[in-house]
Structure 1
Amino acid sequence: MTESDHQLAARLATEAGELLLGVRAELADADAKERKAAGDKRSHDFLMAALAAERPGDAVLSEEGADDRIRLTSDRVWIVDPLDGTREFSELGREDWAVHVALWVRNGDHGELVAGAVALPAQGVTPATPDVAPPPPAPATPRVVVSRTRPPEVALAVRDALGGTLVEMGSAGAKVAAVVQGLADVYVHAGGQYEWDSAAPVAVARAAGLFTSRIDGSPLRYNQSDVLLPDLIVCRPELADAVLAVTTR
């Protein structure tokens, strides 16, 4: 039986993650720059070859590849980040890095994310559509997940407004997965990301019943001419109004 798009996204993200674990082991004695470069290239090459074989009629947008503009007239576009969190990947022992595989399908003027998977190879899990368990009940004190360096001011403002605490973590995929897994409650980012940074994580978050939007409350749009998508919110739905009250003021 032919794999569904959901199954394919999950399998390819997982297999790319296993490849990256092999790269990490192989280059354990190399410097971090070499590990980063090898991880990015080998995972990208694997995903591009696999998608060309499994879905030859689809377009692909990858962080590590040239932007083939044919995607703008395609009905199906895979949006992939072969290695999200290269710094964390290069630091042996860190688990907060990911592989993103998402599928966008044209639907009217904008199109929608219809499948996605976020492999967390060092954790041995791959949350993937269509069935993602909702997070467990929230704690009394909301947890706002932020980057280890330079957390955006808007995230700090949300933390203060909610009376919450900060959880520091690496890649965008790992941060969104932390909300899905119930390890954090809010992820607010501003200051620069691209479609591949959030497409698969947003697809997974939506499947788990989480709220997603731009920080001004507008919808997240993918397969756009300009692939810059600099801000987003992913949070528990019951916190969405309180978060938006901060980010839209």
Structure 2
Amino acid sequence: MTITDHELAARLADSAGEVLLSLREEIGEAPYEPRELKTQADAAAQRRLAELLAELAPGDAVLSEEARDDLARLDADRVWIIDPLDGTKEYSERDDAGVWRDDWAVHVALWTKQDGLTAGAVALPARGLTLHTGQQIAPRSKPGEKLRVAVSRSHPSSFVKAVLEALDAEPVAMGSAGVKAISVVNGTVDAYVHAGGQYQWDSAAPVAVARHAGMFTSRIDGTPIVYNRRDLSVPDLIVCDEDVVDSVQSAVAHALSLEGQDS
């Protein structure tokens, strides 16, 4: 049976997620070395995705965090942009109660020469959740009077702190980029602003899913995010509810002006 690109993206993300959960289950409550677990997890998830893409999408190009960048992708009609494990730090950690953290993700997106991002899936395996561009995503609740903004649990930047101050927003700390973007989609937060440097695989799938759900996405200067470029870097990103675009962009402009004064 033929499946759509949307369904394939979800299948790929779910399959990699199963591998990642299985690795942690094998450890159980035993002592472990986080660095070794990260390395094993990245490799295992990459291997599963590569095998499935070779079987189900032969001939398509692939851009992955965990594989050599084949620049033939620049001339390809279809390119899968994948992050087998977004949030290796979160994946390899337990909380204070000894419970494995759940704020990590698997990203799978499809870029086409004709339409740009056309399909995508973000799986949050430890939460049993996968959102993709082929499904109807329930509307999120409207933002409240005090906006909530997703911020890094480990290293919030001075830029984001300035945005929070300008918005008088409540920071909500969480892990990986995929978790932050999906938290905008499901209404946990109203915005995700990032200016600390990322790569194409960090945001392609989250942006595809967020756009499909009706969210606003752009670079912090308001320009569109362009994928399958030679330069892998995507330095900054906004994902937010359409109702707060003006407020967020104004706060971002204020934060940028402060950076200009400091330089």
The two structures have a TM-score, normalised by structure 2, of: 0.91
Matched residue, 1:119? 123
The two structures have a TM-score, normalised by structure 1, of: 0.96
Secondary structure of residue in 1 paired with 2:163: helix
Q: Which has the larger radius of gyration?
A: 2
* Among candidates 217, 220, 231, match of residue 215 of structure 1: 220
Matched residue, 2:170? 165
1:81 matched to 2:83? The reply is: yes
Q: 5+ residue gaps in structure 1?
A: none
Q: Percent identity between the aligned chains? A: 55
* Among candidates 105, 110, 127, match of residue 98 of structure 1: 105
1:83-114 CA distance string (max 9 Å, x none): 0000000013211000000000012xxx5100
Amino acid of the residue matched to residue 54 of structure 1? L
Counterpart Cα distance in 1 of 2:20 and 2:157 = 29
Counterpart Cα distance in 1 of 2:244 and 2:162 = 14
Matched residue, 1:54? 56
Matched residue, 1:139? 144
Counterpart Cα distance in 2 of 1:173 and 1:22 = 20
CA contact (8 A) 2:167 2:251 kept: no
Number of paired residues?
Answer: 246
* Among candidates 31, 34, 37, match of residue 32 of structure 1: 34
Matched residue, 1:199? 204
Amino acid of the residue matched to residue 104 of structure 2? W
Counterpart Cα distance in 2 of 1:2 and 1:57 = 16
Matched residue, 1:4? 4
CA contact (8 A) 1:14 1:126 kept: yes
1:22-53 CA distance string (max 9 Å, x none): 01111343211111111100000100110011
Q: 5+ residue gaps in structure 2?
A: 95-99, 258-263
Secondary structure of residue in 2 paired with 1:184: coil
Secondary structure of residue in 1 paired with 2:250: helix
Matched residue, 1:237? 242
Counterpart Cα distance in 2 of 1:214 and 1:195 = 12
Secondary structure of residue in 2 paired with 1:168: strand
Query: Residue 160 of structure 1: CA displacement?
Result: 1.5
Counterpart Cα distance in 2 of 1:18 and 1:140 = 39
Query: Residue 177 of structure 1: CA displacement?
Result: 0.8
Secondary structure of residue in 1 paired with 2:79: strand
Secondary structure of residue in 1 paired with 2:7: helix
Amino acid of the residue matched to residue 211 of structure 2? R
Counterpart Cα distance in 2 of 1:139 and 1:98 = 27
